Amino acid sequence: MKVVSLKDVEGTKHEVDGGNWVSKRLLLKKDGMGYTVNYTTIKPGTETHIWYQNHLESVFLTEGEGEVVTLSDNKVWPIKKDDLYVLDKHDEHLLRTKNGMSMVCVFNPPLTGNEVHDENGVYPVDEG
């Protein structure tokens, strides 16, 4: 059994500021669950290019609204509080918000905790 609070990761190396977002990595690869759970806030007025070539991600919005634009077809997916969106095809996308958003993100394979997007919007995969 394990209980993790946001306060447990705030101010540690597992609170990662990616510029347009801040991610608090609550459950990591080292925890042995086979997935990662992050609590992420997206800063108001931002657009972030993301392409998880090495990961699948599910995202549940707890606050705010915005949109996801899938770049393969330029489809705009409006998202709001209490919506879940799933990037089940390693979708290259833009994440936009005017007023900010908060979300719970689940990644497979799990993250080590310090990842940030590279120039292509990708998180590296940890082979270890």
Whether 123 maps to a domain, the answer reads no
Q: Does 97 map to a domain? A: yes
Q: What is the pLDDT of residues 66-94, one digit of tens each?
A: 999 999 999 999 999 999 999 999 999 99
Which pLDDT does position 119 carry in this prediction? 75
Mean pLDDT calculated for residue range 14-34: 94
Phi, psi (5° rounding) for residue 8? Answer: -70, -25
What range defines the domain where residue 40 resides?
6-108
Q: Are 55 and 99 in contact (CB under 8 A)?
A: no
What is the DSSP secondary structure assignment for residue 52, as one 8-state letter?
Answer: -
Q: Name the percent of the chain lying above pLDDT 70.
A: 93
Looking at residue 128, its pLDDT comes to 53
Task: Determine, yes or no, domain membership for 119.
Answer: no
Whichever domain contains 34, its CATH number is: 2.60.120.10
Q: How many domains does the chain have?
A: 1
Q: What angle do CA 119, 42, 23 make, to 5 degrees?
A: 75
Distances (CA, A) of 118 to 7, 63, 94, 121: 27, 26, 14, 5
